């Protein structure tokens, strides 16, 4: 009997460990050459949040505030080169605003700094921030995904709020070491698609703040390559240090 090793990418660390880290650090693998994509299982949105004391309730108001006070607004992140950091760098790129990065050791401390008013904004993981958003301890300006999310239906995407082309998502999926027979990949893809499409699993994912995905292995492979290209450009444009 042949045993195939699968990699399930975790929802909280996927983009940084599998896609972003090889762009910033020397790692012993290539995310495209060393793995075959099986299926994109779910998307975990980020949300642009501000402290309620910030006098901006919409994206346009926030951009105007940042441009009126260059270098005065700070954003927290879960660390240099993390998805929350790069999401803000892409935001800076597209809006031409001067906001200051304050890195923390993890998403929890970054959100705590926002709650305490030590920083004014943060691109945070929706799974972690939902309680603070629902209790109005933080204000959501927009979600980073292409479509609105089921758990925050009244919060617009940043693209529809006035920033066309902006799209950032944490994602998780399943990959298999390169070279597995195509029929194995196809079988895994078909069976996992059935699981994702089941009402019970969809409900669990949506209630946790994630959005179910699914689809073909080719679609996931294309998504991976596009994600790598996007972050490579953001890293280059932001002149982030690459540790090779």
Does the residue 244 lie in any domain?
no
Largest CA distance in the chain: 66
Mean pLDDT score of the chain, rounded to an integer? 91
Rg over alpha carbons for the chain, rounded to the nearest Å, is 18
Boundaries of domain holding 72: 45-143
124 with 213, same domain: the answer is no
- Please tell me whether residues 91 and 37 are part of one structural domain: no
Domain boundary among 92, 126, 143: 143
Residue 191 has pLDDT above 90, yes or no: yes
The reply to whether 50 and 30 lie within a common domain is no
Q: Taking the model in full, what pTM does it have?
A: 0.89
* Domain contains 243: no
Give the pLDDT score at 96.
96
Q: What is the pLDDT of residues 132-182, one digit of tens each?
A: 999 999 999 999 999 999 889 999 999 999 999 999 988 889 999 999 899
pLDDT grade for 229, boundaries at 50, 70 and 90: very high
d(CA 7, CA 3) in angstroms, rounded, equals 13
**8 A C-beta contact, residue 37 and residue 225:** no
Sequence-separated (6 or more) residues with CB below 8 Å from residue 117: 51, 53
In a domain, 197, yes or no: yes
The tally of domains found in the chain comes to: 2
> What does 67-85 look like in DSSP terms, one character per residue?
HHSTTT-EEEESSTTSHHH
Say if 156 falls within a structural domain: no
In a domain, 79, yes or no: yes
């Amino acid at each position: 009997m042949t045993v195939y090793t699968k990699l399930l990418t975790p929802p909280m660390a996927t983009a940084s460990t599998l896609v972003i880290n090889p762009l910033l650090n020397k790692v012993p693998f290539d995310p495209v050459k060393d793995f075959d994509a099986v299926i994109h299982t779910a998307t975990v949105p980020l949300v642009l949040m501000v402290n309620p004391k910030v006098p901006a309730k919409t994206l346009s108001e926030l951009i105007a505030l940042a441009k009126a006070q260059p270098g005065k607004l700070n954003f927290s992140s879960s660390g240099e080169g993390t998805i929350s950091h790069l999401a803000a760098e892409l935001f800076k790129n597209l809006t031409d605003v001067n906001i200051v990065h304050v890195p923390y050791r993890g998403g929890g401390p970054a959100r705590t700094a926002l709650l305490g008013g030590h920083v004014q904004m943060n691109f945070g993981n929706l799974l972690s921030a939902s309680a603070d958003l629902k209790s109005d301890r933080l204000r959501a300006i927009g979600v980073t995904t292409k479509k609105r999310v089921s758990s925050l239906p009244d919060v617009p995407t940043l693209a529809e709020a006035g920033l066309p082309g902006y799209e950032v998502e944490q994602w998780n999926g399943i990959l298999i070491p390169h070279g597995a027979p195509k029929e194995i990949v196809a079988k895994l893809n078909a069976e996992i698609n059935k699981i994702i499409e089941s009402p019970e699993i969809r409900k669990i994912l949506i209630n946790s703040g994630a959005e179910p995905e699914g689809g073909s292995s080719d679609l996931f492979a294309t998504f991976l390559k596009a994600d790598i290209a996007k972050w490579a450009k953001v890293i280059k444009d932001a002149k982030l240090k690459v540790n090779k």
